[in-house]
A and B are shown apart, each in its own frame.
Chain A
Amino acid sequence: MVISSFEDFRKKQSLYQKSLEKQYKKVIVCGGTGCVANGSIKIFNELKRLIEEKGILADVDLEKEHEGIGMKKSGCHGFCEKGPLVRIEPEKYLYVQVKVEDCEEIVNETLINNRPIERLMYHFNGKVYKTQESIPFYEKQTRLVLEHCGHIDAESVQEYIANGGYSALVKALEEMTPEEVCDEILHSRLRGRGGGGYPTGNKWKQVSSFKSDMKYVVCNGDEGDPGAFMDRSIMEGDPHSVIEGMIIAAYATGAKEGYIYVRAEYPLAVERLTKAIEEARKIGLLGKNILGTDLSFDIHINKGAGAFVCGEGSALMASIEGERGMPRVKAKRTVEEGLWGKPTVMNNVETFANVRKIIMNGSDWYRRYGTEKSPGTKAFALTGNVKNTGLIEVPMGATLREIIFDIGGGITGDKKFKAVQIGGPSGGCLTEEHLDMPLDFDSLTGVGAMIGSGGMVVMDEDTCMVSVARFFMNFTQNESCGKCIPCREGTKRMLQILDKIIEGKGEMRDLDLLEELADTITNTSLCGLGKTAANPVVSSLKYFRDEYIAHVVDKRCPTRTCSKLRVIRINPDLCRGCSKCSRICPVGAIEGKIKEPFKIVENKCIKCGSCIESCAFSAIEEV
């Protein structure tokens, strides 16, 4: 059924809202990748089965008004550490780490008898948190973009509409000219969430200023940073918000076709986006004469084959065009000559998801969030040695302390905080001295890191910063497209030097060489990947130079992470000569006579540490 006018749309919206109200209870099972991997689909099916067994409707079709329990698969709730998650409305209970065995109890107790199940609720420091909103992880967040994630059925366009979805599109088409839309976005100071931080409004204005028979809107969903999953969660949890943003961009710029470039490793995102596009097309929100207006726009999905560099705009376009995913140099910019040489708006997923909020509430409202130069919020994927890992959203300008200690609950095992890597392999590390620095695009660049797409890896005192730098350099070297010389050859040689250092073969001049190569790569590489490839090394050299020196000069890894630098000794005073260690040693590196102290043969030892754990007398120690 096609919605062919604004009036039609409003009628539908009000019908869906009424139907939604008839659902006297809503059970929102997290259908994000993390929870799905932990078995949430089974839980969903079991809950639905049990409810229907009781003769209660558990449908989400909003075309018909009927009483019942709304069973929904939502996008990522964010609190991945505690998944699978089940939210019950209207009580706002959040049940964590739910198992299939718990389903019967949930149905009988909570759904039928309205009683909370305390044991399934989040416990922290002896306190039970009844509602989701009261949990510190959520309490400290500001969810604009992730508003729907975990709250609505991610697979239903009806629910999206009932929750105010596509109203921004209607507003733009009905009340605003394309110029006004561009101006509103420009005035909101929305900046590209993909990492570059370029003002989105500028981009749109430029594209709309070029005359062309064809223009494109491209959504960059090729999120590839290790530990980053913000865009995935938005595509999975609120696909229509991305589509709505893209349609508004098309209206504002005069584009006729759109592409969403998603990694094939995000099958759930691909599935939900595909379904969302089909549903939007079915009701006339995509295709010819959208909502009965002159606007015609459709979206294709392009699956990426998993090359990190395809997140770089020009490589992404090359990939869509069927070429090898390599960045291109061009004299003219994407806004003028983008996809297939036509003017192109390219924004990332999170940027598009912001659009409807700005159009709906106005740019002044939007600028109340965040900082003067970086308004709005930013989603981060919080991972690493932090208690509450997951997907979070905070206003720009939030501090690391708020994110890691308030939302994240502090460091796992209450260890000491050491550093946080922001922006993945393109970013840098921040240390204790930056804990109270307000985070935004400019502040991070100022200290040698970058927001990137928003991956945030927290590291505790046991993390070896040289190894971390090596990890990211290895990633970049593998993911370099190989086109330009400084990135291809330079990262290879930097990686070699880092390998040398963690193997204890480094020399002091290697540190200079690292810095010289970093300087060359940063300043001469073709694309963003190369220009930022050295950041993890440069920033760790800046803040943790002592650790490098310990590896190079003392041949010692202060955190005992680098296995080749371990020194393992048998204390002859404690060794009883039982021979257990020599039997356990996988390489036969421990020799001795029974009842006499054993010895480790240095050149055979692979520093695996098995002997340390095996010794009953604690005679083997790492020094």
Chain B
Amino acid sequence: MFKINLHLIEYAINTILRSKTKNIFITTIITLLVFLLSSIFLISNSIKYELNQTVDSLPQIIVQNLKGGKSYDIKTKVANEILEIAGVADAIPRVWGYYYFQKAGVNFSLIGIDQYEMKYKNSLTKVAQSFNLEGESMVVGTGVQKTLQNNYYDKYFNFIKPDGGFKKIDIGGVFDGDTQLESNDVIVMSNDNLREILDMRSSRATDIVVKVNNPEEIPMIASKIKAKYPNMRVVTNEDLKISYANIFDYKSGIFLALSLIALFTFFIIIYDKASGLSSEEKKEIGILKSIGWKTDDVLKEKFIEGSIISLFAYMAGIILSFVFVYIFQAPGIRLIFEGFSVLKTTFELPFVFDMQTLSLIFFITVPIYIAATIVPSWRTATLDADEVIR
């Protein structure tokens, strides 16, 4: 039966404690590396998770008009033409855009809905804190409300129209705080009001959202639309899903580059360990061999040594990163993901447990360090003991 050799573990611990400073340094570096890598993966996993919760509520197909690479208004009659394609259940022209509130230096996303649609009334009740879309009113995200209040707009807001005039719209409701990540900068109002603010004729729309009867036909219908309107961009919900899966890849890359210092130090440690033992360490192995330790015993001891340091550092790094990301909400690192944004959300990163991420980080730290500890010892332990102790 396999019995754990506690004496061997004790010896390994003593060996580690003999070079206390060096080993504390190594453990700290590995902990730091695990902490940084794990934090960044946790943040990006949380954001991806957040996105994936709502991706199925998004439009199946979005059709946009492009002119010279810039998106342009689309004629609403295109919606009727798209409706004629077999398999299309609905094609709705959509009005949305951005509004730059210069005084606060903040960008709002404006979305138009048809205020008389029952389904919107019902949905809005569920997600807005108060609700009064009668007359010229809008429902705003919490970030918008705060910004407006800071600029003395408590009950209404004056939008500056493209012709220089003003459009006053009352604040009819505020979106629930739980939807902050999605709604923070959003203003929802009627299509008519929005058209006025964006100076868009009723025969035009920002884009067209298409619903299909059979979701499996989405790619086929998308290609039909593309064939019919080759200048237009057609985005399907699958495209969005793939886009979400790749989200923050380049930002993660930036951060990983910052982690380069820790990575670099880690690999220098590995190189230093793997390139050979000091004469003291070699002599010690020679002594152990000469008093009856087998090569296996020596390697077992080195394995235990490497495992203790790397496993301890790994666990400490993981625990610290969970605390940092989910309890302290990743101060500092978050800024990299948020990017430059005047209108900040106070969103909480949702907890996501991803075994794959933790395993990946485990495999790039622990076995490499253990191998770097064992390999040079193996080289020495397989020599004649006599040669080593002379």
Tell whether A and B belong to one assembly: no
Q: B residues within 8 Å of A by Cβ?
A: none
